[in-house]
Every structure is written in structure tokens, then in C-alpha cells.
Amino acid sequence: MGKIGYDLDVDFQKQHYQIIQNSIEWMLEHFEAQPSLDALAKQAKMSPSHFQKLFVNFVGVSPKQFLASITITNAKRMIHTSSLLDVTYRLGLSGTGRLHDLFIKLEGMTPGTYKGKGEGISLYYEFFPTIIGDMIVVSSEKGIQNLQFLQTTQKKMETLVSIQEELPYATWKEEERSLHIPIKQFLQNHTLPEKLIPLSVLGTPFQIKVWQSLLSIPQGDVTTYSEIATSIGQPNAQRAVGSAIGKNPIALLIPCHRVIQASGFIGGYRWNPIRKQMLLAWENALSTPESMGEHSRMRDEKKADE
């Protein structure tokens, strides 16, 4: 897939990420009025043509498509009629909708690593911006250990310290690693990884089982806590499932944001419920046939250039 984001220096790129993030939040608040492109551009203090180009480059769809997806992303309309146990749930998917099916390998850290609180291992962290907020990624030699949004009220080091508390005896280094690159490319440029992204996370066997089940939820869809509980063979464990989902250490790649309440309410999200709404609307927009067609065209252009 071709690169969608601009080639800008980090500060200038981050400024554009913030503009788009603010615009998405504004659209979530005012979508019922179906604001025009002119209104959206005015809110962003840009010309309509400049705003349209910037939005498409960073989000992957037009402002009009995104507004439509917010309207469609009424939780009750999005609930899938079939259970996660239904094998047809994942058939017929294409493009980014299959990211979690095809490109994620989830494993738990060894009991020895947990017992030793990280003693003897090195962990590498990096901060980076996206259109839905700044993030921190942490990896070991075996895989991605943590991927979290920075809360607006938190400073970078406060977030890092809270993560380090799980493995205080590990050696921590701020460094870009090859494992980080495909994650940043996907979140910043919508570029699918060329090989498996290994996740090596801290969790109990039950938590790992729940997090593994979340990988089966396709992009553009949602499910409920009860369906997750049923899918792991413990239909009466909804409360425990909810607790495990709330402790998911890998934002986006383990898509806990795709789990909502049976009533249709979006529900909570450890990295801000508003961000959960943003993610669901964004993924729904990227899953439209028109958007997937654009992604296919860009992949073809990249192949032609190689």
C-alpha cells in the first residue's frame, strides 16, 4: 500500500495530527447537524481544499465519508447478528479488515519473566504521534510488550513509569526498534505489515485467552462482552471478561475498543471513551467498499513503482 501521510519533519507532522484529531472530535460532537466541508474547514482554520486534502491523507477517507461512518456507527446497528463462534464471522474479509487475523501473533511472557519482574531482559520504548493521539510502544526481543495512548493529563514519563512498574528490574532504553516500524506505518500511514507482528504480553492464562478472542473481531464490526465470554467457553464469566478487556496492554492491535455493552451503549475505554468512538467511526469508514477500493489502487501504484 502506498504511503498516505506526508513526509514532514516530526514537529510539523505532529501539528497536522493534532489538527485532524481536533477535527474528528468536533465531528463526533456535531455529526447530527451533518456539517459541510466549508464548516469543517472553518473550524480547522483552513481552506476547504486544503482541509480535504489533509484529511484524506491522514485519515484515509474523505470528511464526508467519515461523517457518514459516524452516523452508521450507532452501536445497535453495528452489533453483528452472528456469534464469534460462527466460523463464517471472518470469511470474505479483505484489506485492513483482516489485520488481526493475518498479521498478529499473540503470546504471553514466560512465568519466569513475570516472577523475576523483568530481571535479565531489555525493553525498548518509543513515543510517536497518530491522528487519534500520541502513543508509546514498548518491545522486548520477543515482541511488542505494550502499546498505549498517552492520556491528555499525563506526561510522557508518567505513562512510562506506570508501565515500568510491571517489570521494574528490566533494562529500559528509549530506542526505535525494527518491531516498532510496522506498527507506526500502520497507525500513521495505513500500511499493512508484510509479516507477523509478534506480541509478547504480561497476562494470566485467562486474560491471554480473552485477548486472543478479541483478534477475531473484524475491523468495522463490534461484539459484546457476553459474546466474548461465550466464544471462550465461559458464558457466565462476563464480569471477568470485562476485567480482562479493561487490562488489555496493547491498544488497537488487540482491538478491545470493538467490544460494547449488550444495550448498544459504547461503554468504557481505558484510554478515553471519546477515543473509542473515534476508533469505531474511523474503522467503519476504512471498511467501506469505496475506501477499500482506494487502498487497492494505492497498492497497485506502489507495485508499479517497484
The set of catalytic residues is: 256
Cβ–Cβ < 8 Å for 249, 201: yes
Do the beta carbons of residue 104 and residue 250 sit within 8 Å? Answer: no
* Amino acid (one-letter) located at 9: D
Q: Give me the amino acid identity at 25.
A: E
Three-state DSSP class for residue 93: coil
What is the secondary structure of 190-254 as a DSSP string?
-PPPSS-EEEEE---HHHHHHHHHHTTS-TT-BEEHHHHHHHTT-TT-HHHHHHHHHT-SBTTTS
Q: Give the Cα separation of 51 and 37 in Å (integer).
A: 8
Q: How far is CA 299 from CA 124, 184, 306, in A?
A: 31, 18, 11
Cβ neighbours of residue 277 closer than 8 Å, sequence gap 6 or more? 28, 70, 73, 266
Helix (H, G, I), strand (E, B) or coil at 39: helix
The answer to whether the beta carbons of residues 104 and 199 sit under 8 Å apart is yes
Q: Is 101 exposed, middle or buried (0-12, 13-18, 19+ CB in 10 A)?
A: middle
**Residue 4: in which H helix or E strand, if any?**
none
Residue that the C-alpha cell 499473540 belongs to: 106
Q: What 3-state DSSP class applies to 2?
A: coil
- Three cell numbers, residue 199: 506480541
Q: Are 202 and 166 in contact (CB under 8 A)?
A: yes
